[in-house]
């Protein structure tokens, strides 16, 4: 059962925790075709794909990530049953495999000496929103309607599989919908009372969740749940992240999470990315000096506005995390302005 201890120890020892970067888009960079409603889960039954997932986790650990996020973002057991004709038991096993791959990568990172064993490396079980299952881009809009019970029934089997496989905490990520968030918080409390999670959201603008809920309303709920150990944003453009964190920080004293995307926008109808990355080297082996400088400035802004967990989302890669880690390790600690 995931518990607060490992995460609390990591945060206390590091101050600023480095998350990993994109998984699915990094699989595409490495030659995998993910044109499928379940995206990265398309390759989970392919030996070459399985090896690639493990290697991506390993490359992020080598780059300095403290936490690997499993490849289970789209892995609802309902989706796995529908798209791959798996039984419920087989679907649960597929979810568990995503945890095993991240754990295997962690073991190799320790064996290689990428991190001493005294330095905790954690595995966060990704729980993506119902909108990801719909595969229509609605995780960026939050415009779907289900009951609390329907959301609970949708998320419970995946969370159970992640928990049984030994994740250190849950990552409730890319969440756009207030009702769904209520359901997850309720499910966490009733069915996984010893577990902890971070909650990260997509946004309509700096002051609103994607479905239009204001931060003060959402955080009035979240702040009452002790099992939520961090709150923030993911898969939002880097250019808007600082203002959003500044707005969120007015309503919570939780450690904040920030792992933005490259700035491009996903077009669900064409299954393509639109727009241009701030720097074309963002997901390649090395970042340009201008990209490193821009990232360093952004990271300082995020930390100054309360971010304690920082990383990258879609279309960022190991080079992004390496540059982020090197910047954090190379700078003097910032004054602690939050409790």
Comparing C-alpha atoms, which of 67, 78, 71 is closest to residue 95? 71
Taking alpha carbons only, the member of 94, 75, 77, 72 closest to residue 157 is 77
Distance CA 287, CA 142 (A): 33
CA angle 173, 213, 230 (to 5 degrees): 35
Is residue 109 within 8 A of residue 61, CB to CB? The reply is yes
Classify residue 167 by its DSSP letter. -
Question: Cα dist. 223→72, 128, 142, 219, 320 in Å?
Answer: 26, 21, 21, 6, 31
Which residue in 108, 112, 10, 6 sits closest to 57, CA to CA? 108
Copy the structure tokens of residue 171. 């990552």
Ligand-binding site membership of 313 (annotated): yes
| Alpha carbons 307 and 241: distance in angstroms, whole number | 10
Tell me how far CA of residue 315 lies from CA of 25, 225, 276, in angstroms. 6, 32, 11
- φ, ψ of residue 267 to 5 degrees: the values are -100, 105
Q: 167-203: b or e for each residue (b if 16 or more CB lie within 10 Å)?
A: bbbbbbbbbbbbbbbbbbbebbeeebeebbbbbbbbb
User: Do the annotations mark residue 314 as ligand-binding?
Assistant: yes
**Cα angle value 95/99/100 (rounded, 5°):** 110
Q: Which residues are annotated as a binding site?
A: 235, 313-314
Q: Which residues are annotated as a binding site for Zn(2+)?
A: 235, 313-314
């Amino acid at each position: 059962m995931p518990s607060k201890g490992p995460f609390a120890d990591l945060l206390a020892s590091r101050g600023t925790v480095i998350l990993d970067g994109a998984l699915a888009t990094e699989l595409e960079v490495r030659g995998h075709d993910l044109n499928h409603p379940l995206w990265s889960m398309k390759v989970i039954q392919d030996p070459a794909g399985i090896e690639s997932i493990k290697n991506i986790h390993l490359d992020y650990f080598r780059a300095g990530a403290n936490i690997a996020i499993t490849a289970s973002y789209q892995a609802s057991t309902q989706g796995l049953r529908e798209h791959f004709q798996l039984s419920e038991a087989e679907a649960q096993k597929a979810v568990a495999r995503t945890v095993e791959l991240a754990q295997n990568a962690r073991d190799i990172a320790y064996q290689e000496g990428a991190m001493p064993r005294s330095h905790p490396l954690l595995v966060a079980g990704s729980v993506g929103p119902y909108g990801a299952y719909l595969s229509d881009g609605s995780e960026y809009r939050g415009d779907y309607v289900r009951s609390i019970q329907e959301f609970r029934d949708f998320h419970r089997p995946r969370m159970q599989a992640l928990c049984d496989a030994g994740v250190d905490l849950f990552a409730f990520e890319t969440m756009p919908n207030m009702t769904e968030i209520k359901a997850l918080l309720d499910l966490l409390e009733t069915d996984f009372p010893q577990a902890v999670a971070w909650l990260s959201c997509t946004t309509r603008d700096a002051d609103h969740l994607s479905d239009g809920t204001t931060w003060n309303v959402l955080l009035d709920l979240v702040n009452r749940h002790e099992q939520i150990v961090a709150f923030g944003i993911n898969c939002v453009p880097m250019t808007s992240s600082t203002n959003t964190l500044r707005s969120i920080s007015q309503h919570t004293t939780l450690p904040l999470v920030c792992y933005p995307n490259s700035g491009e926008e996903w077009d669900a109808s064409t299954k393509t990315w639109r727009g241009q990355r701030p720097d074309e080297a963002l997901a390649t082996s090395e970042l340009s000096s201008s990209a490193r400088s821009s990232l360093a400035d952004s990271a300082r802004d995020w930390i100054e506005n309360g971010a304690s967990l920082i990383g990258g989302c879609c279309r960022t890669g190991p080079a992004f995390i390496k540059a982020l880690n090197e910047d954090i390790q190379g700078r003097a600690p910032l004054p602690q302005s939050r409790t």
